Every structure is written in structure tokens, then in C-alpha cells.
Amino acid sequence: MISKIKKILKKKNKSKIICLTSYSKNIAEAIDPYADIILVGDSLGSVLYNYSTTRKVTLNQMIEHSKSARLGIKNSLMVVDMPYKTYSNKRIALKNAKRIMKETKCDAVKIEGGSSIIKIVEHLIKNKIPLMGHLGILPQTVRGKFKFKGKKIKERNQIFKDAKLLQDKGVFSIVLECVETTLAKQITKSLEIPTIGIGSSQNCDGQVLVIDDLIGLNETKTKFVKKFGRIKNNISQAVRNFKKEVLSKKYPTKKYSYN
């Protein structure tokens, strides 16, 4: 597990890091040969369950989806998001992080925030929980519309300081979500650990996208999402073909029956 993290760290300034989400075995299996990191993100709340916020995602949901994803992951580093309120103090955070690590057999967990949660970060790392940070837009905190971060100087300074602080405390990588281009560059250049961007420009050490968005399974108009596939159309086409053959009694033939 530690060597997988070392592999990620070594990619800094050499080769871009590929990170994708997965909430289940079959998707994880398809991604695993190409990804460095597979994240079981709490974005599953909006993507799979249509929740208005990731705050509604429970620890049990994260654990069950992670157990499924684990079955499809052989090579990538597996990271699991700690959902809202599961790291509200040091004791709760450690108890829940240990539970996630034990039950899902993941390699690391991710939590959102900087200086406001730094005591928790410190405590988890002191207790040997491999940790990924998350700065910029923090979906567990944000209310109302998602706006990019780093427009105002005060906000820029805070995010920069937080990134340094997280690194100093020992996180192995930081997700930068919707961070303004030049700020993402400044952070990435200043840190020794890799940054993984989502909506944060080319200036990060790696990129992450929600897999359902990337393959065109989830409908989204988010600016930074590029659809690399149209899987929903493929599914509909396959189902149309199935229906046609069942209605016309072409399927199942003898080949698909037990005699």
C-alpha cells in the first residue's frame, strides 16, 4: 500500500497522474488498467442517488460501494471519501477512518478542507491513516451554486496556505476542485506532493473526473466535464435490440437454451 503511494509521489514532474471515480466492481475493473488512483467519491450521492448535496451520503453507503469497487481494483491506489460528519472530531474521524480502511481494504481516505480540519488531519496521519486532501470547492461545505475558487486575493492566499499546511502535516496528495488556473499552477509548483485537478486547468500534476460524466452515463452540463464517450446511447441501443428480438421471438434461440 505504501509502495503504491510512493509510485504516485514519484510521478510528480514526470508524468501526469490519472485518477477516476468508481462506485462499483465492473466500472472499477474497466478503469483499473489505465488509472493510477481510483476514488470512491461521495459524488455517488448526486450521481447515483440524485441527492441535492453530498451531505446526505452515509458511511454505510460509502463502505458498501467501496467493497464493490475493491473487487475490480488490482493495480490502482484505492482512495475512499469520508462522508460528511464522519470526521467532525479527532476521535470520530479516527474510528471511522479505521473502519473504512478495514472493511473496504482501501489504501487511503480523503477528507475535505484545510486549516479548519488540520487537527483532524494531524491526528489521522499520526495514527498511520494514509490521507488525501481536498481544497478549492468543498462539496460537503458549499451552499448554493458552485463557483470556482481563487478569484479574490484573500481566498487565493487561504487556499495556498491550506495546501502548504496539508503537505506539512503529511497528506500524500491534494485534490484541487475548481481552482483558478494561475493559483493551481502556483500551488502545484510550490508543493512536493502531487495535486490532482478537477476543473483546475492543466496546471495540476494529475486529473480526476467522475467516470459517469466522462463516459456520458450521467447527464451534466458542468463546464469542466468533457464527454469522452456516449455510453448511455450504447445501453439504449443494446436494450432496443434485445426488445426487438424478444418481441419477434428471435431471442432466445436454441443456442441460448438448455436442451
Residues that bind ligand KIV (CB under 6 A): 21, 39, 41-43, 81, 175, 177, 198, 208, 210
Annotated catalytic residue 29: no
Cβ closest to ligand KIV, residue 191 vs residue 208? 208
Give Cα separations from 91 to 84, 113, 213 (angstroms).
15, 18, 35
Q: In the complex with ligand KIV, which residue's Cβ is closer, 41 or 233?
A: 41
In whole angstroms, the minimum distance from the beta carbon of 153 to ligand KIV comes to: 25
Task: Tell me the closest approach of the beta carbon of residue 230 to ligand KIV, in angstroms.
Answer: 21
The residue (of 57 and 256) whose beta carbon lies closer to ligand KIV is 57
Name the minimum Å distance from CB 206 to ligand KIV. 11
| CB-based closest residue to ligand KIV | 41
Least CB distance to ligand KIV at residue 250 (A): 41
> CB of 210: closest distance to ligand KIV in angstroms?
5
Q: Annotated catalytic residue: which of 177, 180, 192, 245?
A: 177
Cβ nearer to ligand KIV, comparing 191 with 206: 206
Q: Which cell numbers in the block locate residue 178?
A: 475548481
- The nearer residue to ligand KIV, 36 or 42, going by C-beta atoms, is 42
Neighbours of 212 (CB within 10 A): 22
Q: Which of 75, 63, 55, 81 shows the shortest CA–CA distance to 210?
A: 81
Contact (Cβ atoms closer than 8 angstroms) between residue 19 and residue 37? yes
Q: Tally the C-alpha atoms within 13 A of residue 178's C-alpha that lie toward its C-beta.
A: 15
Query: Which one, of 23, 125, 9, 136, lies nearest residue 79 by Cα?
Result: 23
Number of continuous H segments (helices) and E segments (strands) in the chain: 10, 8
Q: Which residues are CB-contacts of 171 (< 8 A; sequence separation ≥ 6)?
A: 121, 125, 131, 132, 133, 193
Say which residue the cell 472530531 belongs to.
89
The residues that are catalytic are 177
